[in-house]
């Protein structure tokens, strides 16, 4: 297994879809900017979050939000171009704005606890 952690901004709102065998997956993209000399390069990552956790978090994973994702890395190909994929194990929002447009002054950890269900509230039927 190859594990990776990235931090960037969500490129499009998360989408929930069902697989043929009834599993649910939440998919979204994350843009990560890097510098190569004077040039800025953006790498796009396709992220998948499976099960009840993906269903619960999809509504909070919206375009433009800053996010950190940790999970299993894989490299694929689509239309002859490399595709960077992560099967997410952990996701954390990195701040944001309140409903009135004001910058939210609480820590990212407080925001995540307020918005995301806690781990003990989610049952992914994983034995560990």
Which domains can be identified in the chain, with CATH numbers?
Answer: 3-117 (2.40.50.140)
Residue 38: pLDDT band with limits 50, 70, 90: very high
Euclidean distance between CA atoms 2 and 15, whole angstroms: 25
pLDDT in tens, 49-92: 999 999 999 999 999 999 999 999 999 988 888 899 999 999 99
H or E element, residue 17: strand 15-18
Phi, psi for 111 (deg, rounded to 5) = -65, -45
Output the DSSP codes for 101-119. Answer: SPBP-S-HHHHHHHHSPPG
Per-residue pLDDT, 11? 96
Half-sphere exposure of 57 (CA within 13 A, CB side): 31
Euclidean distance between CA atoms 58 and 124, whole angstroms: 15
- Residue showing tokens 């697989």: 19
Per-residue pLDDT, 96? 54
Contacts 24+ apart (CB under 8 A), 105-111: none
């Amino acid at each position: 297994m190859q594990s990776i952690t990235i931090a960037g901004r969500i490129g499009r709102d998360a989408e929930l879809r069902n697989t043929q065998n009834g599993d649910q997956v939440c998919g979204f993209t994350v843009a990560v900017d890097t510098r190569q000399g004077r040039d800025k390069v953006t790498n796009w990552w396709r992220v998948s979050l499976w099960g009840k956790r993906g269903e619960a978090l999809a509504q909070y994973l919206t375009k433009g939000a800053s996010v950190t994702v940790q999970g299993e890395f894989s490299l694929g190909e689509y239309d002859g171009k490399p595709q960077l994929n992560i099967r997410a194990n952990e996701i954390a929002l990195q701040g944001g704005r309140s409903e009135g447009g004001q910058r939210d002054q609480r820590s990212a950890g407080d925001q995540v606890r307020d918005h995301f269900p806690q781990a003990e509230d989610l049952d992914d039927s994983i034995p560990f």
